[in-house]
Structure formats: structure tokens, C-alpha cells
């Protein structure tokens, strides 16, 4: 479908990348380094997307077996290539000159391996590489429609902050808009009725642009549309700004007893905070209560979850944020205070008693809910309770792709000229979480390579019955606009 409206300007590039987070930055840089004329468009007024708000951990599953065990519902084809490409991608980051820790952190999210990085330096490096190769990078340009010729995507139309329309003719378009966590209609459709209670822990621009653009081009959703990544936060909070995303996250929840507003456990807490965050979304009023003792308070609560993130008292931060909380010298006293929140006292007492019994016996089940062999019941006073709510950083479902970054139609056929990466693609994580920055960067490289192959092929002309490649060495220094 050709765009029928009038435009204020027309530009021609080889590869158009929509979104400047780590996946878009990697896709654009990869394409530019391979000789493609690239335009990287960001609709916000700053580059970097949600990656720029992250802790900078570049991590994923250490092996395909670890991936399969943690994410049994994940797309195994995508997972296998992700794990296989990790070391090469890590080496590329080290060669950039940006800070990458020498020693790995293990057991990230209970199973992963990765390295602390300077994510801002990495994002800046990607843009410098794009510009050095003759590419363009722009903020304040929102893609509103894809251009098509039959099944093929041939470019896009973007709108700037002043309403001017710019047409980009491009044989390859890469969607890296960061997921649909900011689109309340999409969340309710895919996750359920409590989705509108999820606190957005993300840049506000990720509202499903990539998913909607891809649908219009003939693709559909994937598995994992109802699952997502985020961390538990205090309930309520007086404010929630970008600087609060990391300190308010209650990473230690896996060392607590977690109950809902009925005083009932609903999950094995040792699965980890990012899984409990999803579980609590389906509980009454999408709220939970963390119950823990002084041992947890003086160890896990103040432990630095990722290198470089810093050690703080997250319970104290939650109190300062306005979170509902309680403290008592005895567990019975804590239960009494929690019951004042409307939680059934007898039900909560039974839950804690059965949990302690199962933990003492080396695990099993308590009132029908699994108790891990490594579970530890609260036993050392004082005792603490914190009411929590779920948040969403990005979605796990999205655009259907193969392991080359090609977007697939409903029949599994590649849509010519359309690629996707990062949080815009679906199924790589599915309830279980395979990481954020590393999968985004790596899948961005896949899409960038594939998009370049198509762009280079599109430059080929027939001259005297001989296929001749148009010279790609004449690219000039690129431009960055805001």
C-alpha cells in the first residue's frame, strides 16, 4: 500500500530503524558498519529508550539447557541462537571501549550470567558508529505508517513534533519500539482485568507502535502475550519517576513469605522477584504482602542486586515512598498489625504455620502451594511486612520473527522488507525472563544484518546482462538531529 497523503519531505535510505533503545541502536549500527545507509528514528526527545533507564547488566542464560529449564515455554530456536551469540556480542562491547566488567555476576534472576556495563556509553558508541558510516539519527520523529508494495514493506512515513510528514523510502525497515507496556488497551486485552493496575516502570514511549505497524503489514502476535517483565514496588507510592525505578524495586522478595490480601500464599517465593511480580498481578486488587524477619532485613534487603547499582535499605526506601508497612518484635504481633489492613488473621496464621512446617521439613507444599527446599521461615525478630504492587518494564509477547530478525506473517512466511528486534519481538522470554539488554542487543544485530542483506540486494542493477552492485563507499558523514 502506497501512502496516499501528501508529505513535506522525502528521503531515501537503505535501512530505516524505528526506535533508539539498545536493540534499535544495535540494529542501526550493525547495518551501518556493513555498508548500509541508515536512518535511526526516535519519537521521544532523547535517545536510548528504556535501556537508558536500566542498571546496565548485560546478561542472559549461560547455556541452552539453563534457558530451557528457566523458560520452558520460550521459543527454543530464538533461545538457542541468543545463547550461541552471547560471547561474540560481549566481545563487540568490550572492543567499543565502553566499560564492561572483567568479572561476571552469576545466578542473576536465580540462573543467568552477565556483566555490568556502562549502558549510556554503549548507546552513545552505537550512534557515533552510525554517524561515522554516513547514517542519520533523529529524535522527535514518530513513524505513523509503513509503506508497502504488495506484501513488501518499502519504507515508512514519520511525523515530527511540528506535524510535518517525512517519507522514508527504504527497502528494509526494522521495528524496535520497545514493546507495548505503555498501551493500557493492549495490556488489558492480553494480560487481563488487573493489567490497568500495573505501574509503568519504563519509558513512556513504548506504547505498542511496533506491534501495530507490524499487524498492519500482515503479522500477528506470538506466545507470551500475557507475560511481562517488572519488579515488585511498594503500595502505595506518593510518586513514581524514572529515578525511583531502581531503588523502589523490592528485589529480595524471593527471601520472604508472600501472601495476598486474603492471607494466602500463591507461589513459590524462591522463583524470584520478576516472576512473583507477574503472579501478584492476578491476585485480588493486584496486591501482595511481603513478610520477613531481621535476618532478611540485614542481608538480602540491603544487598546490592547488581554490580554498580549500589547497596541501599529497600524496605526503608519503600517506607519513604509511602508504602504500607508494619514492624513488630514477634511474628504474632506482626500478624495482628497486618490484620488491621483487612487481612484475615486466622487465615494468615494458618498460612505462616504451615509454611514454617514445610520449610523445616526441607520443602514440599503448604496449603497446596509449593515450598522450596531452600525456603526459610521468618524466625528472628523483629519482623516486618510490606504491601507491594506489580510493575511492568516491558512485555514478553509481540511481533512474530525468526532467528534472522525477519517478521513472519500468519503463515510463517517472512514479510519482505520488515524486521524486528528487542522487546518488539515475542516469545524469547515467556513468563521466565531471558534478560533485557543482552537479548535486545543480540536480536538487534540479527535484524541489522538481515536488513542490510536486503538493502544491498536492492542496490543491484542489471547492466549489460551483468549484475553490478552499486558502490557503497561513497557514503558521507552522517547527521544527528533533535
Residue with grid cell 552505537, as numbered in its chain:
126
Strands (E), 125-180: 136-139, 141-149, 152-160, 165-169, 172-175
The 10 Å Cβ neighbour count of residue 410 is 9
Q: Which element (helix H / strand E) includes 318?
A: helix 314-321
Model pLDDT, residue 460? 64
| HSE-up (13 A, CA, CB side) for residue 480 | 13
In the predicted model, is pLDDT for residue 308 greater than 80? no
β-strand pairing of 364-366 with 369-371: antiparallel
- Over residues 223-233, the mean pLDDT reads 97
Residue with grid cell 531515501, as numbered in its chain:
12
pLDDT single digits (tens) 173-218: 999 999 999 999 999 999 998 998 999 999 999 999 999 999 999 9
Contact 330, 381 (CB under 8 A): yes
Model pLDDT, residue 476? 41
Model pLDDT, residue 459? 81
The percentage of residues in the chain with a pLDDT greater than 90, rounded to a whole number, is 91
What is the C-alpha to C-alpha distance for residues 399 and 406, in angstroms, rounded to an integer?
Answer: 10
Nearest Cα to Cα of residue 171 among 409, 420, 456, 445: 456
Strands (E), 49-164: 57-60, 105-108, 112-116, 136-139, 141-149, 152-160
In the predicted model, what is the mean pLDDT of the chain? 94
Model pLDDT, residue 402? 98
Model pLDDT, residue 390? 98
Contact 186, 192 (CB under 8 A): no
Model pLDDT, residue 464? 42
Domains, the chain: 9-225+394-481 (3.50.50.60), 231-389 (3.90.700.10)
Model pLDDT, residue 221? 86
Model pLDDT, residue 40? 98
pLDDT single digits (tens) 264-275: 999 999 999 999
Model pLDDT, residue 248? 97
pLDDT single digits (tens) 394-449: 999 999 999 999 999 999 999 999 999 999 999 999 999 999 999 999 999 999 99
Lowest mean pLDDT among 113-117, 141-145, 306-310, 385-389: 306-310
Model pLDDT, residue 478? 66
Residue with grid cell 515467556, as numbered in its chain:
430
Contacts of 333 (CB under 8 A, 6+ apart): 383
In the predicted model, is pLDDT for residue 475 greater than 50? no
β-strand pairing of 57-60 with 141-149: unpaired
Amino acid at each position: 500500500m502506497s501512502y496516499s497523503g501528501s508529505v513535506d519531505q522525502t528521503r531515501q535510505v537503505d535501512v530505516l530503524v524505528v526506535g533508539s533503545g539498545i536493540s534499535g541502536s544495535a540494529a542501526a549500527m550493525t547495518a551501518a558498519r556493513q555498508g548500509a545507509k541508515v536512518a535511526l528514528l526516535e519519537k521521544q526527545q532523547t535517545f536510548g529508550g528504556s535501556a537508558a533507564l536500566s542498571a546496565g547488566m548485560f546478561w542472559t542464560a549461560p547455556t541452552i539447557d539453563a534457558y530451557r529449564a528457566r523458560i520452558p515455554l520460550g521459543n527454543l530456536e530464538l533461545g538457542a541462537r541468543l545463547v550461541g551469540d552471547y560471547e561474540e556480542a560481549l566481545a563487540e562491547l568490550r572492543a567499543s571501549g565502553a566499560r564492561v566488567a572483567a568479572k561476571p555476576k552469576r545466578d542473576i534472576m536465580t540462573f543467568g550470567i552477565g556483566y555490568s556495563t556502562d549502558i549510556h556509553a554503549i548507546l552513545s558508541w552505537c550512534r557515533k558508529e552510525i554517524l561515522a558510516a554516513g547514517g542519520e539519527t533523529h529524535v522527535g520523529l514518530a513513524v505513523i505508517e509503513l509503506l508497502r508494495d504488495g506484501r513488501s514493506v518499502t519504507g515508512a512515513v514519520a511525523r515530527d513534533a511540528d506535524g510535518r510528514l517525512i517519507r522514508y523510502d527504504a527497502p528494509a525497515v526494522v521495528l524496535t519500539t520497545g514493546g507495548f507496556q505503555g498501551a493500557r488497551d493492549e495490556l488489558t486485552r492480553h494480560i487481563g482485568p488487573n493489567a490497568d493496575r500495573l505501574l509503568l516502570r519504563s519509558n513512556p514511549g513504548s506504547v505498542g507502535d511496533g506491534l501495530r505497524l507490524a499487524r498492519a503489514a500482515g503479522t500477528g502476535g506470538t506466545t507470551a502475550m500475557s507475560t511481562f517483565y517488572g519488579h515488585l514496588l511498594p503500595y502505595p507510592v506518593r510518586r513514581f519517576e524514572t529515578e525511583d525505578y531502581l531503588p523502589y524495586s523490592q528485589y529480595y522478595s524471593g527471601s520472604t513469605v508472600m501472601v495476598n490480601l486474603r492471607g494466602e500464599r500463591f507461589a513459590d517465593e524462591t522463583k524470584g522477584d520478576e516472576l512473583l511480580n507477574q503472579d501478584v498481578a492476578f491476585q485480588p486488587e493486584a496486591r501482595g504482602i511481603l513478610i520477613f524477619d531481621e535476618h532478611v532485613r540485614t542481608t538480602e534487603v540491603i544487598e546490592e542486586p547488581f554490580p554498580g547499582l549500589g547497596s541501599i535499605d529497600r524496605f526503608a526506601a519503600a517506607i519513604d515512598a509511602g508504602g504500607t508497612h508494619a514492624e513488630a518484635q514477634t511474628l504474632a504481633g506482626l500478624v495482628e498489625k497486618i490484620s488491621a489492613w483487612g487481612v484475615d488473621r486466622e487465615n494468615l496464621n494458618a498460612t505462616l504455620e504451615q509454611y514454617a512446617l514445610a520449610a523445616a521439613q526441607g520443602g514440599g507444599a503448604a496449603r497446596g502451594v509449593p515450598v522450596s527446599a531452600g525456603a526459610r521461615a521468618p524466625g528472628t525478630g523483629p519482623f516486618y511486612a510490606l504491601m507491594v504492587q506489580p510493575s511492568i518494564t516491558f512485555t514478553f509477547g509481540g511481533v512474530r520473527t525468526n532467528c534472522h530478525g525477519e517478521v513472519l506473517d500468519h503463515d510463517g512466511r517472512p514479510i519482505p522488507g520488515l524486521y524486528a528486534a528487542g522487546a518488539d519481538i515475542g516469545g524469547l522470554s515467556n513468563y521466565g525472563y531471558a534478560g533485557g539488554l543482552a537479548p535486545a542487543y543480540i536480536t538487534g544485530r540479527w535484524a541489522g544484518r538481515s536488513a542490510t542483506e536486503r538493502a544491498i540486494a536492492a542496490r543491484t542493477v542489471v547492466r549489460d546482462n551483468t549484475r553490478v552492485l552499486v558502490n557503497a563507499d561513497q557514503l558521507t558523514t552522517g547527521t544527528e538531529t533533535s
